[in-house]
């Protein structure tokens, strides 16, 4: 399976702190994406990083990709209570099929 | 999620009955997908479509069928529901491949 694996499975931090979660995958990819899921809702696309990119920023989000280690990290800076959610990485081998990991559950304590 | 509507939002059905879930999009996206989400398994791809009447199997397709007669509609049918198909089902679409747009999900309980 192409499925990625997020680490840690759960993370609890204080508001204002930074949150880092990691994703490892098994085979070469075309791109990697991160999604957020609030409880009881669908997933929301956060950011995409292509295999030829090493780092990408979007607002308070910073994503890195290390294709030699087959891993990616998502950093959320200055976290807020509203960032409480589950975060998933999704990898695309080719085309338009994405494989999802099991997610990191982030709790930001006010 | 305004461009994707899943129906019903919740359903309870009996073992052995057929069930159809509907996904309707207004995005005019070519690609549509059905995933199921279960604790400990993340999201797993059931079936996907790359155009009208063009569909293919995902990693957990047994017991499911799909149809796409129009660009905007993608139907998922559980031919004979089993308790193992109790799950939350998500529809997703993409046009360019630069990220999915997800529906709000259908929570299905098979009793």
- Measured CA to CA, the distance from residue B97 to residue B102 in angstroms comes to 13
Whether the predicted pLDDT of B9 surpasses 70: yes
Nearest-Cα distance to chain B for A86, in Å, is 11
Which pLDDT does position A29 carry in this prediction? 87
Nearest-Cα distance to chain B for A16, in Å, is 28
Instruction: State the pLDDT confidence band at A94, using cuts at 50, 70 and 90.
Output: low
pLDDT tens sequence across A37-89: 999 899 999 999 999 999 999 999 999 999 999 999 999 999 999 999 999 99
- Measured CA to CA, the distance from residue A98 to residue A57 in angstroms comes to 21
Which pLDDT does position A28 carry in this prediction? 86
**Do B100 and A92 make contact, defined as CB atoms within 8 angstroms?**
no
Which pLDDT does position A3 carry in this prediction? 66
Whether the predicted pLDDT of A93 surpasses 90: no
Q: What residues of chain A have any CB closer than 8 angstroms to a CB in chain B?
A: 1, 3, 33, 35, 40-45, 48, 88, 90, 92, 95-103
Which tops the pLDDT comparison, B2 or A19?
Answer: A19
pLDDT tens sequence across B74-85: 999 999 999 999
Average pLDDT, chain A: 92
pLDDT tens sequence across B15-33: 999 999 999 999 999 999 9
- Measured CA to CA, the distance from residue B103 to residue B93 in angstroms comes to 9
Nearest-Cα distance to chain B for A78, in Å, is 25
CB atoms within 10 A of CB B14: 9
Could you tell me if residue B73 is left (phi over 0), alpha (psi between -120 and 50 degrees) or otherwise beta? Answer: beta
B35 touches chain A (CB under 8 A): yes
Burial classification of residue A13, based on how many CB atoms lie within 10 Å of its CB (0-12 exposed, 13-18 middle, 19 or more buried): middle
Q: Which residue of A has its CA nearest to B59?
A: A1
Which pLDDT does position B1 carry in this prediction? 46
Whether the predicted pLDDT of B99 surpasses 60: yes
Which tops the pLDDT comparison, B8 or A96?
Answer: B8
Q: Which residue of B has its CA nearest to A43?
A: B102
A-chain CB neighbours of B45 within 8 Å are 97-99
């Amino acid at each position: 399976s192409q499925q990625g694996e997020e680490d840690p499975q759960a993370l609890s931090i204080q508001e204002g702190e930074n949150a880092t979660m990691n994703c490892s995958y098994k085979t070469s990819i075309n791109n990697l994406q991160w999604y957020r899921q609030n409880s009881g809702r669908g997933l929301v696309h956060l950011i995409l990083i292509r295999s030829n990119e090493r780092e990408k920023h979007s607002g308070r989000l910073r994503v890195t990709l290390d294709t030699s280690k087959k891993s990616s990290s998502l950093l959320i800076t200055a976290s807020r209570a509203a960032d409480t959610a589950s975060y998933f990485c999704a990898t695309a081998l080719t085309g338009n099929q994405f494989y999802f990991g099991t997610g990191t559950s982030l709790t930001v304590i006010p | 999620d305004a461009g994707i509507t899943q129906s019903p939002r919740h359903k309870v059905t009996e073992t052995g009955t057929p069930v159809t879930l509907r996904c309707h999009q207004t995005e005019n996206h070519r690609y549509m997908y059905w995933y199921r989400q279960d604790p400990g398994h993340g999201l797993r791809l059931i079936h996907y479509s790359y155009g009208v009447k063009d569909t293919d199997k995902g990693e957990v397709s047994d017991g499911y069928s799909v149809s796409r007669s129009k660009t905007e509609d993608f139907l998922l049918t559980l031919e004979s529901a089993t308790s193992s198909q109790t799950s939350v089902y998500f529809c997703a679409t993409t046009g360019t491949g630069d990220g999915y747009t997800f529906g709000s999900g259908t929570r299905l309980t098979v009793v």
